Amino acid sequence: MPHKKLVAHVLGICTALFLLFIHVPLSKASSHVGAATSTPISVYGAWQCSNDGCLWGTVRSVTEFDSKNHWLIDRGDGVPSVNLVVLSFVQPLKLLNKTTDTQTTQGLPIGMTADIVNYFKSHNIRVMLSIGGITYVNAWNQALTTNPTQLGLNAAAVAQQLGVGIEIDYEESSSPNLTGMQAFIDAYRSVEPYDAMGSNPAARLTIDLAAGDRWLIGLTTKATTSWLTTSTPVLDYANAMVPSRQPSSASSAEGNWQEHIDGKPQYSPPIPPLAPAKFTGGLYITSANGAVQPECYHFSGSLIDTTGSYVHSVAPNGAGTTSGMLGYMFWAAECPSARGACTTPPNSCEGGVGVGGQTYTIPVPMSQLRQG
């Protein structure tokens, strides 16, 4: 009958419109990078732990080092997998005292040689040294109590000598020596002023904060309030470190990072919001329980993949004007633990970190960082 044809015709139009409606949003949502508010990733790096649980206690030849870490400088197409490596860790009290012993020369681990630094720099990968780590909290406290100004001057001298930046990894959760840390930073900046252009490697000075705002609260409050502002920046950026274990989902990882963007106004004193352009998010590629993570070897479906849209497009919420975080940092290349797995062949990370770098078109060498 005629009315049945009309009903069928109308239903056909409605079905087509419905399919069009659901197709377009889903297609956009599934892409790795959002559309209008997406900002390219600038920092895509790995903490590098050498072959002895981050001690760097032996001198290594470039040939032997390359056999374990070649994936960092070549993801399979001749382009590096990352644009930054952070050699981890320098013991702060030894750096202050310029200690020389079986594993240290003038305060620097003997494995952190110019040859290793130049191995990365020759492939346009920026290099930094990390001072501290969870093992060296007491050493940080002692150094900051003894002579934080001299420690800052010594750190700047090492940075100039090797042509590297410095990362502050001070994981004192209960009562951080913020006065001492301010003196350290002031001394460093007296030698190497803040460089918004990023052209001077030794002027790059960063800090590690917790995955979110619920740990390292004192340090986070001070850093967000005084050192990481977009109006008068003192440090270049922060790294939101990995939590105690790999997040179980993209929403879990993003929830941690969102805490930095939102701040904690209910705390006393409050933690202000942090501009998305002022921090990176950390993910595991190896874990403390001995497992190599999917983020190392398989990009599709990994957290590098599923958090990509958020990292590229998360909006400011009280600080900063541009959308998108600064990028990613991965813990950790080679052997971060004597008991854990290593990112050495056959467990190297071209298929995860490398493919992620290719997918997101990371700049090699690192481009100038956004300032807000």
Give tens-digit pLDDT for 266-294.
999 999 999 999 999 999 999 867 789 99
Q: Give the E-state strand segments of 2-58 in sequence order.
A: 43-48
Q: pLDDT tens, 114-146?
A: 999 999 999 999 999 999 999 999 999 999 999
**Partners of 43 in beta bridges:** 327
Query: Rounded to 5 degrees, what angle do the CA atoms 91, 328, 330 make?
Result: 50
pTM of the complete model: 0.90
Q: Assess whether the previous peptide bond of 2 is cis (omega < 30° from 0).
A: no
- Flag whether pLDDT at 192 surpasses 80: yes
Q: pLDDT tens, 57-91?
A: 999 999 999 999 999 999 999 999 999 999 999 99
- d(CA 28, CA 110) in angstroms, rounded, equals 50
| Ramachandran angles phi, psi of 84, nearest 5° | -150, 140
CA 305 to chain CA centroid, nearest Å: 16
Give the position of tokens 């100004």. Answer: 149
Question: Given this model, what pLDDT does residue 288 score?
Answer: 62
- d(CA 131, CA 151) in angstroms, rounded, equals 11
Q: Give the E-state strand segments of the chain in sequence order.
A: 43-48, 84-90, 104-105, 108-109, 126-132, 165-169, 205-209, 238-240, 279-284, 327-333
The closest alpha carbon to 68, from 363, 341, 294, belongs to: 341
Taken in order of first residue, the domains within the chain and their CATH numbers are: 41-359 (3.20.20.80)
Q: pLDDT tens, 203-221?
A: 999 999 999 999 999 999 9
> Half-sphere exposure (CA, 13 Å, Cβ side) for 229?
9
Question: Given this model, what pLDDT does residue 60 score?
Answer: 98
Mean pLDDT of the chain: 91
